[in-house]
Amino acid sequence: MARVGVLALQGDVREHLAMLEGVGADVVAVRSIDELDDVDGLVMPGGESTTIAYLLTTSGLRPVLEKKIEDGLAVFGTCAGLILLAHEILDGRSDQWSFDVLPLSVRRNGYGRQIASFESTVHVKGVGEVPGVFIRAPKIETWSNDLDVLAWHDHGDGEHPVLVRQGNVWGCSFHPELTDDDRVHRLFVDTL
């Protein structure tokens, strides 16, 4: 059984923990370096990307997590988690940083502010149609051809990737944890 951590500094922690338990993973909320030691994979949840980045730094988790990702830890970033994994944040604050492990650029709130949040069906390669909840979602604006795009979405301005993977690193613009459909989480856990 895979042991999967959920970064529990801020954001949709409970929802990811419940979804991962539902697919049979052994789950742990990760708030400290010690809790990061024994995980096979880590979910970085949605929330507020600058707050999560700040808490990663002040908790001391940032350099340890950076090294673990570099060494092959599987990591799945949803919404704010995707922003933290991106190569470039197009509209980030001047002090905003990322792990720079996904070859893509994102725009925070790229689909609109809170009032523009929406739900839409997303076709995930190898899975089928899943519900996608987009809340102040980051939009992937540029990406490398080396990136494995698992799902696309067209919100009226052309298609953009919304679920991507490169090796051990996954990123998702929407919130799969806010639905009753566990197949995106299962897809990630099955690779561990």
Predicted confidence (pLDDT) per residue in 44-78, tens digit:
999 999 999 999 999 999 999 999 999 999 999 99
Residue from 16, 160, 177, 185 carrying the catalytic annotation: 177
**What type of residue sits at position 78?**
T
Report the predicted TM-score, pTM, of the whole model to 2 decimal places: 0.94
Domain count, the chain: 1
Active site residue 172: no
* Beta carbons within 8 Å of 190's beta carbon, 6+ residues apart: none
CATH number of the domain within which 88 lies: 3.40.50.880
Active site residue 35: no
Q: What is the mean pLDDT of the chain?
A: 94
pLDDT bracket for residue 145 (50, 70, 90): very high
Phi, psi of 62 (to 5 degrees): -55, -55
Residue 127 pLDDT greater than 90, yes or no = yes
Q: Domain span at residue 39?
A: 3-189
Please tell me the predicted confidence (pLDDT) of residue 132. 94
Torsion of CA 55, 59, 65, 66, to 10 degrees: 70
Please tell me the predicted confidence (pLDDT) of residue 75. 98
Active site residue 48: no
- If one counts every other C-beta atom within 10 angstroms of the C-beta of residue 1, the result is 9
Residue 91 pLDDT greater than 90, yes or no = no
Residue 156 pLDDT greater than 80, yes or no = no
Residue 87: half-sphere exposure toward Cβ, Cα within 13 Å: 11
